[in-house]
A and B are shown apart, each in its own frame.
Chain A
């Protein structure tokens, strides 16, 4: 074999070697791209494709004048990943000093994947973390709620740190406000960041819905101020007020005092509920309004009929009923005006069990359906469970426990000339259809009686009707001598303008007061500010 042929042989062998190598590569290519296509495609998908959910913006709450009552604000939360700490000692020392609770959690469970350092962290602490170069602590933006008008706290409620409603309307309408998240499939880039080159919507979500309330923010503030001043003046435990439009059931203001600022942490869990809806009491003499309505409707009495009030007390079937002062013969409208227990008991005894039917018709011992959680139905025993004295004591407001909103609803029935009405916190654009449940004659007579009854708490320029109520609070099976609740239920009227105001002040320090000294003036002040706001400043 000469040199030329040797050269040719060597080249041929090298070419064959390369051919074999290329054939191996081509075969490998074939195996990866054709045979194992599905496997590698799924591995690649796992690497760069992720499914993420995009939470919609939580819906807002507005008052009746379109003033925004809730705001979505971004907050920053700090976290760390214990398994991936780069400078463990430095982080531990910092945590021990600044976040002792997180430090304790980290020490007890050092192998967890994720640990919150602090949620909703202040700017000052963020700066401190940056200044100390604690790179193991990372930050995450979260959405939270901010409430600019804190007097509305018992109505609006609040959300928790995860932006889920836990009280008030935020809880009641949580699903509506929250909306549903949109689930999207996106691709990550080589740095692992969610920079999508293409995205594919897996599930279309719904944005959170806005809710428009019937409440007037300014009226709420006025009522809150007056309640707060009254509670402080008399050193009382709590107070509440409702202002309602009796024509359509819209609640214009609903105050519960005391209440916490919803932007601060919960101090007292009892303040999360609205006491006009969640608490029921025996309101005392204010219930005489409805006993009188029942008696007038059943034609067992007229407003001029003379009733013997028997001085300071009288026995009904060996049960003693007392008047608050010595009263004798009075026309029925004066029985209400002077709040004679004996007088009203005598009239109501003519009704018998029908009193129960009227109380049920007016909505007592039934939930009103108001859009707040925790509403109580109240207590009203049916006639088959009545004792000998029940009919008498019911007439002047004992053995019947109602909530303030039930009282406001019953007053609204009188105010709107006998039509049933449902209290609501939502803005209604149309007047709902209402069943007439009381005759015009009874309503007119009762309104005249109530006008005389409210003579001390008149609002200039408006027809003012109402009744006070002073009642002892039941405690440990007996009525307390030192704990009282003072109520006023009133109606303001002028031409087509009508408003119902119901208030109570609970347990003032001084037990020797009357509602005409406590809740009567409170009603008058609220009514005056309300009429000024609605008929002067606003217009």
Chain B
């Protein structure tokens, strides 16, 4: 092999290594930006979830439930006297 070809091959290899390094760095930067964008998206979804959880648990508040069932469904509070247990039932006479 002539020395010219030899140096051309060496030069090409070095250039390739340099380009691969640059490409690798660019990919890393690009993926880091993508990661950051996904993390921001995750944060937004977490915020949305927290807001929905707040709404859900507000609806589960006994005060809210009571207001709804009394006003919309016309429920009345249950009294102890309305609940019978087996001991309360009269004994059947033989």
Q: Which residues of A contact B (CB under 8 A)?
A: 67-68, 71-74, 141, 146, 148-151, 195-197, 217-218, 221-222, 459-461, 528, 531-532, 536
- Flag if A197 contacts B29 (CB, 8 Å): yes
- Flag if B80 contacts A149 (CB, 8 Å): no
- Flag if B80 contacts A528 (CB, 8 Å): yes
Instruction: Provide the residues of chain B in CB contact with A74, threshold 8 Å.
Output: 47, 50-51
Q: Contact partner of B80 among A141, A150, A151, A531, CB < 8 A?
A: A531
- Flag if B51 contacts A532 (CB, 8 Å): no
- Flag if A461 contacts B85 (CB, 8 Å): yes
- Flag if B80 contacts A148 (CB, 8 Å): no
Min CB–CB distance A72 → chain B (angstroms): 6
- Flag if A196 contacts B32 (CB, 8 Å): yes
Q: A196-B36, A460-B80 are in contact. Are A68 and B57 (CB under 8 A)?
A: yes
Min CB–CB distance B73 → chain A (angstroms): 16
Q: A460-B81, A461-B85, A461-B88 are in contact. Are A73 and B61 (CB under 8 A)?
A: no
User: Taking the complex as formed, is B4 at the interface, i.e. its CB lies under 8 A from any CB of chain A?
Assistant: no
Instruction: Provide the residues of chain B in CB contact with A148, threshold 8 Å.
Output: 54, 57-58, 60-61
A-B contact pairs, 6 of them (CB 8 A): A68-B53, A71-B57, A195-B32, A195-B36, A196-B36, A531-B80
Q: State in angstroms the CA–CA spacing of A7 and B85 once bound together.
A: 123
Name the residue on A nearest B64 (C-beta).
A148
Cβ contacts B67-94/A at 8 Å (1 or 0 each): 0000000000011110101011000000
Q: A149-B62, A196-B36, A460-B81 are in contact. Are A72 and B50 (CB under 8 A)?
A: yes
Instruction: Provide the residues of chain A in CB contact with B80, threshold 8 Å.
Output: 459-460, 528, 531-532
Instruction: Provide the residues of chain B in CB contact with A72, threshold 8 Å.
Output: 50
User: Taking the complex as formed, is B28 at the interface, i.e. its CB lies under 8 A from any CB of chain A?
Assistant: yes
Q: State in angstroms the CA–CA spacing of A150 and B60 once bound together.
A: 12
Min CB–CB distance A229 → chain B (angstroms): 11
Interface-central residue, A148, A221, A536, by most chain B CB under 10 Å: A148
Q: State in angstroms the CA–CA spacing of A532 and B79 once bound together.
A: 8
Q: State in angstroms the CA–CA spacing of A151 and B57 once bound together.
A: 14
Other 5 A-B pairs with CB < 8 A, given A195-B32, A197-B32? A71-B53, A151-B63, A217-B62, A222-B62, A531-B80
Min CB–CB distance B42 → chain A (angstroms): 13
- Flag if B54 contacts A146 (CB, 8 Å): yes
Min CB–CB distance A123 → chain B (angstroms): 12
Instruction: Provide the residues of chain B in CB contact with A532, threshold 8 Å.
Output: 78, 80, 83
User: Taking the complex as formed, is B33 at the interface, i.e. its CB lies under 8 A from any CB of chain A?
Assistant: yes
Min CB–CB distance A464 → chain B (angstroms): 12
Q: State in angstroms the CA–CA spacing of A71 and B50 once bound together.
A: 7
